[in-house]
Structure 1
Amino acid sequence: MVPSFPVRVRDRRTNTEHIVEVPADRYILETAENQGACLPFSCRNGACTACAVRVIAGELYQPEAMGLSPHLQRQGYALLCVSYPRSPLVVETQDEDEVYELQFGRYFGKGPVRRGLPLDEE
């Protein structure tokens, strides 16, 4: 028998809270939607940051979260579309742009990319 865990999702966009029961072998986002929760998402493949949350309490497992660096995962960020609960959880949705900036800002925060001269001008 697969255990299930209560997952409390605080949605910052709508100032609402959803409490859902999620089996340990099911994705949190999909299960929450099946229980009536309307949460942010985009790709559903762990490649973007639209469904990013910050873990407030509890543990989850997200082996397919390629849209989050290991560094951000260690800081408590997760992607609900590819996360499985491992204990009772409390998570809070994040602004996608904020997480994207944390993920990639060091690359894009240095101003416009400068290109060399065109080949015919060199």
Structure 2
Amino acid sequence: MRPRHRITIHWRQENRTISHDVPEGDYILRSFELQGDPLPFSCRNGCCTSCAVRVLDGSIDQREAMGLSRELRRQGYGLLCVARATGPLEAETQDEDEVYELQFGRHFGRGSVRSGLPLDEE
């Protein structure tokens, strides 16, 4: 039998705190769903920021989190859809737009996107 770890998520947008014991190595998001507490998500691939959290205490294995830079991971951000339980964890949900901007804003924040067509043809 695998060890289980107490995972506590402060769901800011819902003003709720949810805790469950998650088997070591299991995806946190999926385990919470199976235990009756679905959390926000979109892609389930670690590519977007819908399920973003900020780790308050503990750590997670999220090597599959393509949607977060190493820098954001070092700052304590995680994606629950690809986060595996490795020990006790306390984290809080984040605003998707805020994390998206931290991750991608520097790439898309340089003016409006244009099609390349003359303005009268766009």
Q: Same fold (TM over 0.5)?
A: yes
Deviation, 1:110, is 1.8
Deviation, 1:24, is 1.1
In the alignment, the residues of structure 2 paired with residue 44 and residue 115 of structure 1 have an alpha-carbon distance, to the nearest angstrom, of: 31
Partner of residue 23, structure 2: 23
In the alignment, the residues of structure 2 paired with residue 17 and residue 66 of structure 1 have an alpha-carbon distance, to the nearest angstrom, of: 27
Identity of aligned residues (%): 58
Instruction: Output one character per residue of 1:85-105: Cα deviation in whole Å (capped at 9) or x when no partner.
Output: 211110100111000000011
Partner of residue 85, structure 1: 85
Partner of residue 4, structure 1: 4
Partner of residue 32, structure 2: 32
Partner of residue 111, structure 1: 111
In the alignment, the residues of structure 1 paired with residue 117 and residue 102 of structure 2 have an alpha-carbon distance, to the nearest angstrom, of: 32
Q: Over aligned residues, Cα RMSD in angstroms? A: 1.5
Q: Which residue type is aligned with residue 88 of structure 1?
A: P
Instruction: Output one character per residue of 1:50-75: Cα deviation in whole Å (capped at 9) or x when no partner.
Output: 00000000011011100111111111
Deviation, 1:47, is 1.0
Unaligned runs of 5+ in 2: none
Cα contact 2:29–2:38 (8 A) shared by 1: no
Partner of residue 45, structure 1: 45
How many residues are paired up?
A: 118
Give the SS at the match of 1:13. Answer: helix
Unaligned runs of 5+ in 1: none
Task: Compare 107-116 and 71-80 and name the one that shifted more.
Answer: 107-116
Task: Identify the structure with the greater strand proportion.
Answer: 2
